[in-house]
Amino acid sequence: MSKVVVVTSGKGGVGKTTSTAALGAALAQTGQNVVVVDFDVGLRNLDLVMGAERRVVYDLINVVQGDAKLAQALIRDKRLETLSLLPASQTRDKDNLTAEGVAKVMGELRKKFDWIICDSPAGIERGATLAMRHADVAVVVTNPEVSSVRDSDRIIGLLDSKTEIAERGGTMEKHLLLTRYDPNRADRGDMLKVDDVLEILSIPLIGIIPESMEVLRASNLGTPVTLSDASCAPAKAYSDAARRLMGETIPMAVPTDRKGLFGKLFGRRAA
Amino acid sequence: MTESLKSPTPIRLRGRSFLAIVLSPELPFSNWLAGLDDLARRSTGFFLGRPIVLDVAGLDLSREALEGLIEELQARNVRIMGIEGARASLLGPGMPPEMRGGRPAGDIEPAEDQAPTEAAAKPPAAAPAAVAAASPASVPQVTTVVPPSPASLLIETPVRSGQSIVFPEGDVTVLGSVASGAEIIAGGSIHIYGALRGRVMAGSVGNPDARIFCRKLEAELLAIDGLYKMADDMDPQLRGQPVQVWLDGDAIKATTLN
Ligand SMILES: Nc1ncnc2c1ncn2[C@@H]1O[C@H](COP(=O)(O)OP(=O)(O)O)[C@@H](O)[C@H]1O
Ligand SMILES: [Mg+2]
């Protein structure tokens, strides 16, 4: 049974695209057949983060409009043969995405892949609602700050009302992915605490991704962070989150900064 | 238009109730408008997209003064749907229509021999703060407006940012939290077993005995029977506490529970 996952947040710049690529690659590394789908029409990024920007010929809108076959638009990853990308259009208008057209493409993808991971655009408009419309599972990407949490709350409301599952009277499975978590700022009290975010959003936590240079480096190289350096902290956190998505139970740790702690102790002594 | 006049197909008239917010301006208007600006500034988007009725009963107004007031409100993006309590001479063309009542809309029966357009254009006799709207359909049928509804509404999920629960019929109980940017408007009392971070308005159809209860007070706005308090007006001691809120005359009172 294939699963359609929407990676969504309301707010922009929180790490949806980064997370889509990292989770997709981590799932594909376990041998599952995975496609990552870019719904951010007009502002596509996923091709860059996946390092496939020079290989885009056809895109989601071409397929929705029947100008290209799905197989022509899918781009197979060069590093992982179980991983594919369905890119968004950079030039077309997002009004070309129709609900029926997207439903048809999703149906075809379900036949080919175990996991269909949809990268949602920011906002609560058409693009975002179409990306979540056919999902079975939602990964709600949130940064530990007030505006991001509020936007996520809004998105959860839409997941519970504007999706096919909700319209059939069901409830969508939802997971919170806390990203760009900075242990130093958390220590100083400059960020919301993990518990506070969980209390406000009241959906289960699937992972905490630390703020890390590795993420920037990987995305500049066009490699999902889980493929570039599997041993770094964000890659491990993403891999664990992917396993939890597959139903495994893995203990979760709140990232700490050892150096930071040491520095603090040392600083106190010197004073 | 011509089409429907020729066609013998009767249209269906349905009643629909909306909860309108009633603004009761006081003289001098400049002070009252300043208060309104303050509310709008602190609660952005509060009037946006809501049906709003202006209640001018008891005010001795000239037509110019009323027009001036409506213009001032329009400049603030507050669009008036109707006017309550105005002398007939004040109203007329170019003014919002007169509204009376405040009771639920009764059945609207299309007369068989009337041209459909005429029937549709005829306003319902008693329009409450709930408004009757007509919509065409192909089957002749008399539709009941509101089925007898329970006096309380139970919500077992959290109320999320951007969601609005409107229940003029009675009490609202929420088992989860009410998020920042969410709101609940109840005719009766409001009970929240989680954290209250959004806006709640109890007794909104004129019930000063309504109360608000919550397990953790972090509200953006509390109102009972139209009297409101914003977050900044609340006693900081009550923040994060289980709290009960009620009305004592014209004052909003609040105290911790337990
Ligand atoms: N854990 C992280 N640590 C450091 N930078 C990050 C992290 N996650 C995302 N970023 C950076 O934040 C920016 C926005 O991320 P992106 O995934 O494009 O967000 P979105 O798709 O939600 O708009 C990018 O420059 C990305 O590299
Ligand atoms: Mg993005």
Amino acid letter at A35?
V
Nearest ligand (C-alpha, residue A11): 1
Amino acid letter at B210?
A
Q: What is the pLDDT of residues A43-84, one digit of tens each?
A: 889 999 999 998 999 999 999 999 899 999 999 999 999 999
Q: What is the pLDDT of residues A75-88, one digit of tens each?
A: 999 999 999 999 99
- Report helix, strand or coil for A141: strand
Structure tokens at A244: 């939890």
Longest dimension (CA), chain B: 69
Secondary structure element (H or E) that encloses residue A21, with its range:
helix A16-29
- Choice from A9, A16, A18 to test ligand 1 binding pocket (greatest atom count within 8 A of CB): A18
Average pLDDT, rounded, for chain A: 91
Q: What is the pLDDT of residues B231-245, one digit of tens each?
A: 888 899 999 999 999
**Angstroms from B243 CA to nearest CA on chain A:** 18
Measure the CA angle with vertex B77, ends B53 and B179; round to 5°: 85
**Angstroms from B180 CA to nearest CA on chain A:** 7
CB contact under 8 A, B161 and A150: yes
A175 lines ligand 1 (CB under 6 A): no
pLDDT of residue B14: 60
Q: What is the pLDDT of residues B59-73, one digit of tens each?
A: 888 888 888 888 988
How far, CA to CA in Å, does B97 sit from each of A143, B62, B87?
49, 17, 12
Whether residue B87 has pLDDT greater than 90:
no
- Spatial distance between the Cα atoms of B182 and B202, rounded to a whole number of angstroms: 14
Give the residue among A91, A92, A94 at the shortest CA–CA distance from A120: A94
Residue A145 at interface with chain B, using a CB cutoff of 8 Å? no
User: φ, ψ for residue B112 (rounded to 5)?
Assistant: -55, -40
Q: What is the pLDDT of residues A141-187, one digit of tens each?
A: 999 999 999 999 999 999 999 999 999 999 999 999 999 999 888 88
pLDDT of residue B35: 86
- Choice from A47, A212, A215, A239 to test ligand 1 binding pocket (greatest atom count within 8 A of CB): A215
Q: What is the pLDDT of residues A229-263, one digit of tens each?
A: 999 999 999 999 999 999 999 998 888 765 544 43
Tell me the percentage of chain A whose pLDDT exceeds 70. 94
Structure tokens at A106: 């999703």
A17 lines ligand 1 (CB under 6 A): yes
- The arithmetic mean of pLDDT across residues A257-270, rounded, is 44
Whether residue A123 has pLDDT greater than 80:
yes
Instruction: Show residues of chain B in contact with A160, CB under 8 Å.
Output: 157, 160
Higher pLDDT, residue A257 or B124: A257
Q: What is the pLDDT of residues B191-221, one digit of tens each?
A: 999 999 999 999 988 899 999 999 999 999 9
**Which atom number of ligand 1 is nearest to the Cα of residue A210?**
1
Whether residue B31 has pLDDT greater than 70:
yes
The model's pTM is 0.72
Whether residue A29 has pLDDT greater than 90:
yes
Whether residue B6 has pLDDT greater than 60:
no
Nearest CA in chain A to B182: A154
CB contact under 8 A, B161 and A153: yes
